[in-house]
Structure 1
Amino acid sequence: MRVRRTTGPLRRGWWAALAVAAALVAASPLTGSSATPPSPGPAPVPPVAVTADDRRVLDRAEQLLTRECMNRAGFQLWLGPPKRTDEPRVFPYVVDDVEWARAHGFGTDLIEAANARRLADPNQRYFAALPRDRRAAALVALNGARPEGLEARLPSGGVIRHSAEGCTAQAWHRLYGNLAAWYRSSKVVAQLASLRERRVLADPAWTAALRPWSQCLRQRGYPVDTPGQLREHVADRGRAAEVAAAVAEARCAEGGLAATARALDARHGADLAAAHRQDVATRDRLERAALSRARAVVAASEDR
């Protein structure tokens, strides 16, 4: 995907038309002298976010639809493995699971495994082996000729864009229907996690909770003030040193830092979700509606 950041008005699409229609309805006069406003109905129920399993179905269906489109265009595409649950960044603030620390340290083994999977990706090898003109044509077929037609103004500033053409966009359209609304809302919501983490790390309560945690680490032989410093402290000392440091980090986090991190993460996450409630609701509604289509796509592929 080719991405450009720029400035400019955000396209509102059918939301603007909906707002106009609502205004016209509200302005319509009541007929008859005894007319009274209708009683309000029940409050709308917000869409339920899809589960991790649901998201794997959506991801699989997107891959299948993209492959089908690329095959029609004369190119090959291999399906990737299902999304894993052991992603390296399980602990954005501090490792707080002693058993996980004993197994993975700070997660460098998971990062190395993920990098190995990327290097073994047959799609990377296939695209690299194509002649230059065919490679360019394949990329256009996949992502469109130019990143135009879809855009999202990110909460951190700037605009991210993607082509509304190409096999990737076609797969999104078949799944989510309102392509512009889904692209915009999904990109906005995707950035909320990194914004939430930044807010937690800048919160005075986090800074205060670091002090007893740091003292605990110093008593164990690690003269550090933050989890980041601890990782740097053992970066070149081998696997055993990494695991020992991670276990110490998790043990000391039990003294209050882990609980503080969870509380701050929940609070800042709720604040950001409330500030961007329209995008969260739109993303959840479109993804929930796409699930039946995604399951049908996956089931059809299994029947072949």
Structure 2
Amino acid sequence: MKPTTPVLLALLGALTLTGCATDATTAPGEDPRGALSLPATERGKDDLIDTAQQVLVERCLAGRGLTLRHAPSGRRDGSSERDRRLQAALFGAGRSELSVTLATGYTVTGHTDGCLAAAQRELYGDQPLWFRSRVVVNNLRAEAQQRMDRDPGYHAARARWTRCVTPSDGPRPERPDPAVSARCARASGLARLRARLEPALLNRVRADRRDQLTTYQRLRTRALQRAAALYAARTVPVNRKKGSTTS
């Protein structure tokens, strides 16, 4: 299923970055020894990959006579021809070629065409494999939560919490007062049980999905190297022309 116009615009905003927010002391590029330097933090690495993906997406769209940097059509139904063309060019068109059904029962689909898929192929090498591993890794906590919901002790603690937050003279509020909710979480034992179960179940899920995690890290490392090379190719010639050195 393709994004609706509000979702499309939000995704376009996420892609349209103004730069790479990497660490000032470890900006990506080519160091004096000729090796690619990489950001020191995970946030910096993610930003570098995201920015490289943006560059590749924009190049792809430009080849189709489109750009991310245009004003929204303003039509609420999202039915403008330009929006439809941009959505198809960015996310792909037709029947989804990729599909992953998670342990939680949800199915996530995606395309192998479109500029976003092309950018991911350039960065990760194997876009379908990246799609599958990323979907699984991004839903590890949801899988752990599902396992916790099935735990009899947790289910009983949730029932005690529900009784605790429900007023004696009326139905349970849709959003209980935070102070009441916290008090009942302690009184019912829910808070203590969750603190014990959550990390244990997440570790178990990670162990069960070890192959997908390994694939995810391997492809992300490849994308990071490709992103750093792309960054260096865009900045080093300019710096050298000005007579400066990179770090």
Shorter-chain TM range is: 0.5 to 0.7
Give 1:142 deviation, angstroms.
0.9
TM-score by length of 1: 0.52
Determine helix, strand or coil for the equivalent of 1:164: coil
Aligned to 2:57: 66
Q: Tell me, yes or no, if structure 1 residue 247 matches structure 2 residue 187.
A: no
**What does residue range 6-85 of structure 1 map to in structure 2 within 5 Å?**
51-78=42-69
Equivalent pairs: percent with the same residue? Answer: 29
Give 1:169 deviation, angstroms.
0.2
Which of 245, 248, 257 matches 2:190?
257
**Aligned residue pair count:** 195
Which of 160, 166, 169 matches 1:223?
166
Contact 1:176 1:287 in 2 (8 A): yes
Q: 1:251 to 1:159 in 2, by over 3 A?
A: closer
Which of 121, 126, 129 matches 1:178?
126
Determine helix, strand or coil for the equivalent of 1:57: helix
Give 1:162 deviation, angstroms.
2.2
The separation in 1 between residues aligned to 2:233 and 2:184, in whole angstroms, is: 51
Q: 1:158 to 1:266 in 2, by over 3 A?
A: closer
Return the structure number with greater relative CO, CA threshold 8 A, min gap 6.
1
Q: Tell me, yes or no, if structure 1 residue 192 matches structure 2 residue 140.
A: yes
Give 1:268 deviation, angstroms.
1.9
| Structure 2 residue identity aligned to 1:76 | T
The separation in 1 between residues aligned to 2:121 and 2:175, in whole angstroms, is: 48
Determine helix, strand or coil for the equivalent of 1:76: coil
| Structure 2 residue identity aligned to 1:287 | R
Contact 1:149 1:162 in 2 (8 A): yes
TM-score by length of 2: 0.61
Q: 1:131 to 1:207 in 2, by over 3 A?
A: closer
Give 1:253 deviation, angstroms.
3.9
Q: RMSD in angstroms over aligned alpha carbons?
A: 3.7
1:110-134 C-alpha deviation (Å, 9 max, x unpaired): xxxxxxxxxxxx77x2485987433
Determine helix, strand or coil for the equivalent of 1:199: helix
Aligned to 2:216: 283
| Structure 2 residue identity aligned to 1:192 | L
Structure of higher CA gyration radius: 1
The separation in 1 between residues aligned to 2:166 and 2:79, in whole angstroms, is: 54
Contact 1:152 1:187 in 2 (8 A): yes
Q: Which runs of 5+ in 1 are unaligned?
A: 4-49, 79-121, 235-244
Contact 2:104 2:146 in 1 (8 A): no
Which of 152, 156, 160 matches 2:100?
152
1:210-266 C-alpha deviation (Å, 9 max, x unpaired): 477568xx4xxx436xxxx55x155xxxxxxxxxx2134335545653332132112
Q: Which runs of 5+ in 2 are unaligned?
A: 4-40, 239-247
The separation in 2 between residues aligned to 1:208 and 1:251, in whole angstroms, is: 17
Give 1:181 deviation, angstroms.
1.1
More displaced stretch, 191-200 vs 166-175? 191-200
